[in-house]
Amino acid sequence: LLGQVRKDQHIEICRDQDVEASDRFTGFQRVQFIPEALPELSFDDLNTEQSFLGTCFDYPILITGMTGGVDKGTEINRRLALAAEAYNIPMGVGSQRVALDNPEYAPIFDVKKYAPNLFVIGNLGFAQLKQDNYLDLCRRAVDMVSADALAIHVNVLQEAIQMEGDRDFTDILKRLETVCQSLSTPIVIKEVGSGISSNTAQKLLETGIAAIDVGGRGGTSWGYIEGLRSSSSETMELAETFRNWGIPTAYSLVGVRALAPQLPLIATGGVRNGLTVAKAIALGADLVGIGLPLLRAALQGEQETRDTLATIVRGLKVAMIATGSRSLRDLEQHICLS
Amino acid sequence: LLGQVRKDQHIEICRDQDVEASDRFTGFQRVQFIPEALPELSFDDLNTEQSFLGTCFDYPILITGMTGGVDKGTEINRRLALAAEAYNIPMGVGSQRVALDNPEYAPIFDVKKYAPNLFVIGNLGFAQLKQDNYLDLCRRAVDMVSADALAIHVNVLQEAIQMEGDRDFTDILKRLETVCQSLSTPIVIKEVGSGISSNTAQKLLETGIAAIDVGGRGGTSWGYIEGLRSSSSETMELAETFRNWGIPTAYSLVGVRALAPQLPLIATGGVRNGLTVAKAIALGADLVGIGLPLLRAALQGEQETRDTLATIVRGLKVAMIATGSRSLRDLEQHICLS
Amino acid sequence: LLGQVRKDQHIEICRDQDVEASDRFTGFQRVQFIPEALPELSFDDLNTEQSFLGTCFDYPILITGMTGGVDKGTEINRRLALAAEAYNIPMGVGSQRVALDNPEYAPIFDVKKYAPNLFVIGNLGFAQLKQDNYLDLCRRAVDMVSADALAIHVNVLQEAIQMEGDRDFTDILKRLETVCQSLSTPIVIKEVGSGISSNTAQKLLETGIAAIDVGGRGGTSWGYIEGLRSSSSETMELAETFRNWGIPTAYSLVGVRALAPQLPLIATGGVRNGLTVAKAIALGADLVGIGLPLLRAALQGEQETRDTLATIVRGLKVAMIATGSRSLRDLEQHICLS
Amino acid sequence: LLGQVRKDQHIEICRDQDVEASDRFTGFQRVQFIPEALPELSFDDLNTEQSFLGTCFDYPILITGMTGGVDKGTEINRRLALAAEAYNIPMGVGSQRVALDNPEYAPIFDVKKYAPNLFVIGNLGFAQLKQDNYLDLCRRAVDMVSADALAIHVNVLQEAIQMEGDRDFTDILKRLETVCQSLSTPIVIKEVGSGISSNTAQKLLETGIAAIDVGGRGGTSWGYIEGLRSSSSETMELAETFRNWGIPTAYSLVGVRALAPQLPLIATGGVRNGLTVAKAIALGADLVGIGLPLLRAALQGEQETRDTLATIVRGLKVAMIATGSRSLRDLEQHICLS
Ligand SMILES: Cc1cc2nc3c(=O)[nH]c(=O)nc-3n(C[C@H](O)[C@H](O)[C@H](O)COP(=O)(O)O)c2cc1C
Ligand SMILES: Cc1cc2nc3c(=O)[nH]c(=O)nc-3n(C[C@H](O)[C@H](O)[C@H](O)COP(=O)(O)O)c2cc1C
Ligand SMILES: Cc1cc2nc3c(=O)[nH]c(=O)nc-3n(C[C@H](O)[C@H](O)[C@H](O)COP(=O)(O)O)c2cc1C
Ligand SMILES: Cc1cc2nc3c(=O)[nH]c(=O)nc-3n(C[C@H](O)[C@H](O)[C@H](O)COP(=O)(O)O)c2cc1C
């Protein structure tokens, strides 16, 4: 259960410490909106709806998958699920591996019991693809949460920095292809802070994945968190060295979008408010994933979780009305890059 | 009278707190003057006169329209009016809406009683255009202060951030056109911190307005003030997000001037001294509006208001003499952009 | 004697307070030397000699003209003169106006009594050119110190900011031309912190002056000093506004040099060490003027003055040897601009 | 023995004080890696081997030559040597001059007694080339440590700043050529913080040297250390002036590599972790030299020295795996410059 101890530590570190890229640079800082002083719109005209993998959501926002640990996981997931349902947006769960190994933990992840209509994205790591029974694991993960999609996260940097981390990253692409062919559930590939390069995206496109979460640099830095929770001064130093590693979220998004004009894309990593959601949409994201701020809110309470989402949604609407954008699609007409 | 309570709060917040764009970036920072070491001019040769809407002023400076609230408004307006008259410059009053609803407040705005020769710009918000009797409201606003021009301010960002703000921004352009056609008083469209884009300017030109105040970003941030006065943590966060929203004043000025070479233009937003007044003139402004520093001076006293203007005027003259600019028009020969 | 009181204040302010451009930006920051790891030179090979107005000096350094006031002026000038003579470099005296009005002060300026072989540059302000007897004043200034050249300083910004400052800057160029024609002593035009623009340089070239001191921005800020010594809050604010006014010394130097490839040029303003002396030479200066650091040293003592010069001279030599520059002329082969 | 006193001071200053370029700018800050989220590699696949002067090392890292002084030198060298042997990387010793003058100090440098298979680079300064018996000195230095290569360091800036430093840098190139022809041991030319310009590199290529250590700016600043250890305020000021002198390590590396595509190159100066080692390799270095961090570790203990290397090696491997680089050569495919 080492993995689990580790996850529980993560929650506290993420709540209390500065776990983000030290400069917070996501690339979105270089995107500005040009306001429209006379938008000729009313708030009621704003259309924030977005389709993703065949489902229509009220907002282009994803509560990204986060492990809440075994102690607090159930309650965190409940709070996030209720908020997601209230806003009719999709939600990812954290890595289900612990519950594959220990089925008694499965209920932690089963958020549809609170929110039956929620669009839920299951979650496994690439490490599970390396098991012999990987197809079975994927199917069990989907079933465990009645997943509408399954995210497979890749986090090479984090694993590489960890003493006890995975050391073998071979053979993933082929198995990914098999998973995509064998499961009817759409598969999402999900970076968690290093971003997806155009090069990587090209290889992923050939596997038949349904969507990419570019998971870029600028927000929560998992390489750095490994240092914060480590008692080894070597690991701490290594983590410090790689704290700001990765492609900034906005750059990764733009690069992958250029390559795959039609592919459903999620932009996660350092998004902290509705204005940045609007920027990510303007740059081509279908959904915008938000992690840390919602985790922190969920640790405080149900209402706090909802309030945090409310503020983000209001920010998105303010950006839309103040640029005269009736729909999400209009936003890209109003950006300028610096 | 909620609106009024709000305005009174504004005054105190503006006096005591940091209410400007956090980086003060107006774009004027990128404009430098090239000095002339041997100007071959005397101070007496300097011509700082400027015509605007057919009237000639001693300086190209506008005391921009600011609501002083019902408590302090009368005295603030008196002090500003006396200073404006002393320097023979125009003055705008703050939003007259409260006095349209409550005629007993009309005297607050009637600054010609202290300064009969003052050029006064009346003030309404775009929200008043949405009333059925909008033409009547405009006429009454003009009459209330014997206005020489009427400014209609647009502040979508501020309204959008406010809980109790307007939510409907439709149908303004058409009514604006009607106002321009129906009133003999010239109409000024006035942003209050987000700046006017070229796109917006193009639409405005078709309505028949007499002048634009580009009201750009870098000075008083009304979006941010909404957060400072709010007790809702959501609104506070939203306001923080949008604190630096908008087109920097200098950029907005240059963009609109390029589009409308002859249109009378006012540049307001973050102008804090005579050197910046000179830069705005060099970039094509006819008048340069100043708010916050004059409000703060007016809250201190009659003499302080006059002294603040005196320093600005001296700064303008120093910039002129030190660049060898005999007239305001000469200033643009001496700038360089970085 | 108001002027004199003012000058004595200046000394104390310059000694104790931060009187330079707030960012110290002289433009030399953008000039880097490319080192030569194997210079194939010995220190003894270094030739730091420089000719200026027909005289050959051991170093291309000028102790720029600074008024020391009537109290301390005599001693300051003696210390500077002894140091200049020890290093065989030229020295300027501060404005001699006070001694033209009050001949009993003439001995303050007469530095040849301590250093008979010193090359001395006399000093008057453009204001003296506005007197009817300006030619006579110039001749008396030259005679007073047996000047080898006469500097006429222009300081429009400083005068303009001062309450009691000159207000009339007309008719200087014509009289300057007459001075150049009438005196056999070479005339140097000297800015004191705003820099000389190419435009101004063009006009100066037509007057027949013998040399220009570009006196650019980045070092001692006379506009700002006016604020520090003023009790008027208006003047203080004005001075703050114009603290960083002017063309950075390096930019002014490059601009004027491009226009006048052969004209003797002095670069003064913010030069603080021998490395910057080397940069100024590489950009085309004949002499490099240094003020504030030498004034502060001179206020401490004779030895301190000499030590300060010694450090600057060593710095120049280190820059030469470390770039493999045998002579001053070689330096320009080794710069790169960023 | 003045030189020796000086070296012992150096150690303490280097341990306790901030002796690096104030901005740490090495140029490597402008190099970023583009991650590969799915590297299809395992840690075991990584090949970090590098050949240099005919020998193959496990990592492309050099413990650069550092004098440890006579007191602590023996122990420092022992600790460094054991760590170097453990990782199968080469090691340079500090300047052997003291032991040429005083043969009783030779054992300090003889690190092969602890680590018989170590690749050892002997060390002399260019100053020794100026002795009449320079060939003999070089041979004795090689013999003293059974050197596999001999580094001749050039440090014009440091010498020039020192009061007691060398003042004559002539005739080095010719003697260097003679040394290269006369000794069978390969000769490495080594800057210590100013970097090698393309110009200098061109001259060096003609002497027949076997390798260059570009020794650029950004790390330990020897000019500055001269100031820290000096009691002369002049030298202190001079050192402050030249603290950031030199070509940033990455720039020097790229420049020399462009000129000499095949020449063995070492990049030293400001490298502090394995990520920067990877960047230097990607820019064309064969070996990457590290000084200060290893000196500080060696002053703490044997284990600390090994741990410091371990962290650097892990950092290099993390950079390789996270960019999908199987071998060092692959790294350059994954950089982007900003
Ligand atoms: C506490 C915490 C736990 C996380 N656990 C997972 C996980 O189990 N699986 C996963 O794919 N991503 C996980 N993530 C990564 C997030 O999905 C997201 O990619 C990352 O936090 C970047 O977004 P942010 O900057 O908005 O936090 C976790 C993030 C946090 C903060
Ligand atoms: C206290 C205060 C009240 C204001 N009230 C109004 C108003 O009623 N109507 C209006 O058009 N602008 C109003 N403004 C906006 C100003 O006219 C101006 O556009 C803005 O303050 C930016 O200029 P500044 O940076 O110089 O302050 C107000 C500004 C302040 C500081
Ligand atoms: C105390 C002091 C007095 C000065 N007095 C004069 C003066 O009388 N005449 C003049 O031409 N310049 C005068 N200057 C200006 C200097 O010659 C020089 O142009 C200026 O100080 C910029 O150089 P710096 O940055 O090295 O100080 C004075 C400067 C100082 C610091
Ligand atoms: C304490 C100390 C002593 C050094 N002694 C020598 C030396 O004797 N010979 C030499 O060539 N370089 C010497 N160096 C320079 C280093 O080899 C290296 O070029 C320099 O420190 C830059 O690398 P760094 O930034 O990693 O420290 C010394 C460096 C240090 C820190």
CA angle A122, A124, A129 (to 5 degrees): 135
Confidence of residue C4 (pLDDT cuts 50, 70, 90): low
CB-count exposure of residue C156 (10 Å: 0-12, 13-18, 19+): buried
DSSP state of D75: H
Please tell me which of the candidates A38, A41, A310 has its beta carbon nearest to residue B200: A38
pLDDT higher than 90, residue C3: no
Summarize pLDDT for C311-335 with one digit per residue, the tens.
999 999 999 999 999 999 999 999 9
Give the number of the ligand closest to the Cα of residue B188: 2
At residue B165, the pLDDT reads: 84
Interface touch D242/C318, C-beta < 8 Å:
yes
Summarize pLDDT for B257-315 with one digit per residue, the tens.
999 999 999 999 999 999 999 999 999 999 999 999 999 999 999 999 999 999 999 99
Ligand 4 in contact with D185 (CB < 6 A)? no
pLDDT higher than 70, residue D80: yes
| CA separation for the pair B334, B323 (Å, rounded) | 7
At residue D6, the pLDDT reads: 63
The residue-averaged pLDDT of C76-98 equals 98
At residue A8, the pLDDT reads: 76
In this complex, is the C-beta atom of B241 within 8 Å of any C-beta atom belonging to chain A?
A: yes
Ligand 3 in contact with C192 (CB < 6 A)? yes
> B133: which residues sit within 8 A by CB, 6+ positions away?
none
Percentage of chain D modeled with pLDDT above 90? 93
At residue B100, the pLDDT reads: 96
| CA separation for the pair A82, A258 (Å, rounded) | 35
Q: Which two tokens stand for residue B147?
A: 């206005």
pLDDT higher than 50, residue D1: no
Evaluate whether A155 touches A114 at the Cβ level (below 8 Å).
no
Q: Which chains reach chain B with 3 or more Cβ–Cβ distances below 8 angstroms?
A: A, C
Summarize pLDDT for B127-169 with one digit per residue, the tens.
999 999 999 999 999 999 999 999 999 999 999 999 788 889 9
More confident residue, B7 or D155: D155
Q: Which two tokens stand for residue D176?
A: 């260097």
Q: Give, for ligand 4, the residue of D64, D120, D128, D156 to mutate: max count of ligand atoms closer than 8 Å to Cβ.
A: D64
Distance from Cα A97 to the centre of ligand 1, integer Å: 15
Residues from chain D contacting residue A191 (CB–CB below 8 Å):
37
> A228: which residues sit within 8 A by CB, 6+ positions away?
A13, A17, A19, A236, A239
ipTM of the complex: 0.95
Percentage of chain B modeled with pLDDT above 70? 98
pLDDT higher than 90, residue C168: yes
Q: Give, for ligand 2, the residue of B63, B64, B100 to mutate: max count of ligand atoms closer than 8 Å to Cβ.
A: B64
> At residue D21, what is the residue type?
A
Q: Which chains reach chain C with 3 or more Cβ–Cβ distances below 8 angstroms?
A: B, D
Summarize pLDDT for A160-205 with one digit per residue, the tens.
999 788 889 999 999 999 999 999 999 999 999 999 999 999 999 9
| H helix intervals, chain A | 2-16, 69-86, 97-101, 106-109, 126-129, 134-145, 156-161, 172-182, 198-205, 222-229, 233-241, 249-259, 274-282, 292-300, 302-322
Domain map (residue ranges) of chain B: 2-337
Q: How many CB atoms lie within 10 A of CB A49?
A: 13
The residue-averaged pLDDT of C253-281 equals 98
| CA separation for the pair D68, D74 (Å, rounded) | 7
Ligand 3 in contact with C290 (CB < 6 A)? yes
At residue B5, the pLDDT reads: 61
| CA separation for the pair D291, D272 (Å, rounded) | 9
| H helix intervals, C40-90 | 69-87
Residues from chain D contacting residue C314 (CB–CB below 8 Å):
234, 238
In this complex, is the C-beta atom of D293 within 8 Å of any C-beta atom belonging to chain A?
A: no
Q: How many CB atoms lie within 10 A of CB D188?
A: 27
pLDDT higher than 90, residue D276: yes
At residue A10, the pLDDT reads: 87
Evaluate whether B337 touches B28 at the Cβ level (below 8 Å).
no
Q: Which chains reach chain A with 3 or more Cβ–Cβ distances below 8 angstroms?
A: B, D
B66 strand-pairing partners: none
| CA separation for the pair C313, C276 (Å, rounded) | 11
Q: Is the dihedral of CA A77, A79, A82, A85 positive or negative?
A: negative
pLDDT higher than 90, residue D338: no
Confidence of residue C9 (pLDDT cuts 50, 70, 90): confident
> C252: which residues sit within 8 A by CB, 6+ positions away?
C191, C195, C196, C197, C214, C215, C216, C217, C267
Composition of chain D by helix, strand, coil, percent to 5: 50, 15, 35
Distance from Cα A156 to the centre of ligand 1, integer Å: 14
Count of CB pairs separated by less than 8 Å, A with D: 88
Summarize pLDDT for A229-241 with one digit per residue, the tens.
999 999 999 999 9
Q: How far is CA B85 from CA B56, B57, B273, in A?
A: 13, 10, 19
At residue A1, the pLDDT reads: 42
CA angle A1, A4, A218 (to 5 degrees): 145
> C12: which residues sit within 8 A by CB, 6+ positions away?
none
Confidence of residue B338 (pLDDT cuts 50, 70, 90): confident
User: What's the whole-number average pLDDT of chain A?
Assistant: 96
For residue D276, give how far its alpha carbon lies from the nearest alpha carbon of chain A (Å). 9
Confidence of residue D295 (pLDDT cuts 50, 70, 90): very high
Q: 3-state class of B28 per DSSP? A: helix
Give the number of the ligand closest to the Cα of residue A271: 1
| H helix intervals, D42-155 | 69-87, 97-101, 106-109, 126-129, 134-145
Class of domain B2-337: alpha beta
pLDDT higher than 70, residue A5: no
Interface touch C245/B322, C-beta < 8 Å:
yes
At residue C315, the pLDDT reads: 98
Summarize pLDDT for C300-314 with one digit per residue, the tens.
999 999 999 999 999
Instruction: Transcribe D6-49 into DSSP letters.
Output: HHHHHHHHHHHS--B-TT---SGGGEEE---S----BGGG-B--
At residue D209, the pLDDT reads: 98
At residue A9, the pLDDT reads: 83
D13, D39, D109, D82: which is closest to D301 by C-alpha? D82
Q: Which two tokens stand for residue A10?
A: 């993560």
The residue with tokens 């003592």 is: C301
Ligand 3 in contact with C68 (CB < 6 A)? no
> At residue C284, what is the residue type?
G
Q: How many CB atoms lie within 10 A of CB B18?
A: 10
In this complex, is the C-beta atom of A156 within 8 Å of any C-beta atom belonging to chain D?
A: yes
pLDDT higher than 60, residue C2: no
In this complex, is the C-beta atom of A275 within 8 Å of any C-beta atom belonging to chain B?
A: yes
> C60: which residues sit within 8 A by CB, 6+ positions away?
C48, C50, C52, C277, C281, C285, C286, C287, C288, C316, C328
Summarize pLDDT for B18-51 with one digit per residue, the tens.
999 999 999 999 999 999 999 999 999 999 999 9
Interface touch D241/C322, C-beta < 8 Å:
no
Q: 3-state class of C48 per DSSP? A: coil
At residue A305, the pLDDT reads: 98
| CA separation for the pair C321, C43 (Å, rounded) | 7
Q: 3-state class of A289 per DSSP? A: strand
pLDDT higher than 80, residue A12: yes
Summarize pLDDT for D2-27 with one digit per residue, the tens.
456 666 788 999 999 999 999 999 99
pLDDT higher than 80, residue D251: yes
Q: Which two tokens stand for residue A37?
A: 């002083």
HSE-CB for A185 with a 13 A CA cutoff = 25
In this structure, which residue's CA is closest to atom 26 in ligand 1?
A: A291
- Name the residue of chain A whose CA is nearest to B248's CA: A34
Summarize pLDDT for B210-268 with one digit per residue, the tens.
999 999 999 999 999 999 999 999 999 999 999 999 999 999 999 999 999 999 999 99
Evaluate whether B62 touches B268 at the Cβ level (below 8 Å).
yes
In this complex, is the C-beta atom of A322 within 8 Å of any C-beta atom belonging to chain B?
A: yes
User: What's the whole-number average pLDDT of chain C?
Assistant: 96
| H helix intervals, C2-96 | 2-16, 69-87
At residue C1, the pLDDT reads: 42
